[in-house]
Amino acid sequence: MRRGLLLIITTVVSINLAGQDPEREMVEFTPDFRFNDGIFLTFEQVKENKPISKAKILTSADYNDRDFFKQVFANDNIYFYDAMGIRQEITTSDIWGYSRNGILYVQIQGGFNRITYVGNICHFVADITTYNRRYYGSPYNYYDPYYSPYNYYNYYNPYYSPYYMPYRPTTMSRNELVQYMIEFETGKRIKYELKNVELLLMKDPELYDEFLQLSRKKKKQMMFLYIRKYNEKHPLYLPK
């Protein structure tokens, strides 16, 4: 992991040094905007719209295949040439995401999720795996040392066994859809929850005060609307 982080830093620096272009035109983001196709090692590359292009990726996959990125990410490591023409290697799990047909995808838990709403506050839904530790046989689904239907801790009980555990711990996993936001200024990814929406809206005092006047129920219903309002007042600008 440490080696991967060092590689990312080195690669980003070399890209910036070799590819600096102060004349790049900044344009306001609209639904018609298209990110350059390629792999983004970091969110800074997303902000610069400077991914590792497909042509610089070393792979046996067909560059014209619609599943090109899927085939590349099937490997544990990705090989590519940086802006200085030096061959580099990075662990697939260390990259931020990629762009395909101008659309952004962010990596979470090894899966790539499309960012469906882009702005200074982005919104998307991710399919993630959650884990819960439970105790098999317990009526409360957690460990209770004082509960046992047969009282196995009683030495005189005919069912007594010094090796018996009344509850067998097990870890349950399940997939669920979770909504997230990305603060474009910092690249920070946070859950789409009321408290987090309020924190982001605080950057616009007028909009924030307006939101605070709503009831809690109304706030939850109108969270996304106020994200849209924020983005309309504070449009996102990106280099072509």
Cβ 116 vs Cβ 135: under 8 Å: no
Instruction: Identify the band that residue 192 occupies on the pLDDT scale cut at 50, 70 and 90.
Output: very high
Where residue 102 falls (left for φ over 0; alpha for ψ -120 to 50; beta otherwise) is: left
Sign of the CA dihedral with 22 first, then 23, 27, and 33 last: negative
pLDDT digits (tens, 9 = 90+) for 207-238: 999 999 999 999 999 999 999 999 999 999 99
Q: What pLDDT is stored for residue 130 in this prediction?
A: 83
pLDDT digits (tens, 9 = 90+) for 117-147: 999 999 999 999 988 776 655 555 555 555 4
Q: State the Cα–Cα distance between residues 68 and 65, nearest whole angstrom.
A: 5
Instruction: Identify the band that residue 171 occupies on the pLDDT scale cut at 50, 70 and 90.
Output: confident
Phi (first) and psi of residue 174, to 5 degrees? -155, 150
Residue with tokens 């997939």, as numbered in its chain: 175
- Encoded tokens for 5: 């982080």
- Point out which residues pair with 26 in neighbouring strands: 239
Kindly report the pTM of this predicted structure: 0.77
Cβ 117 vs Cβ 182: under 8 Å: no
* Domain ranges within the chain, ordered by starting residue: 2-114
Report which listed range, 21-25, 93-97, 170-174, is most confident: 93-97
* Mean pLDDT confidence for 27-31: 96
Cβ 181 vs Cβ 189: under 8 Å: yes
Q: State the Cα–Cα distance between residues 93 and 170, nearest whole angstrom.
A: 27
* Residues making up the chain, counted from first to last: 240
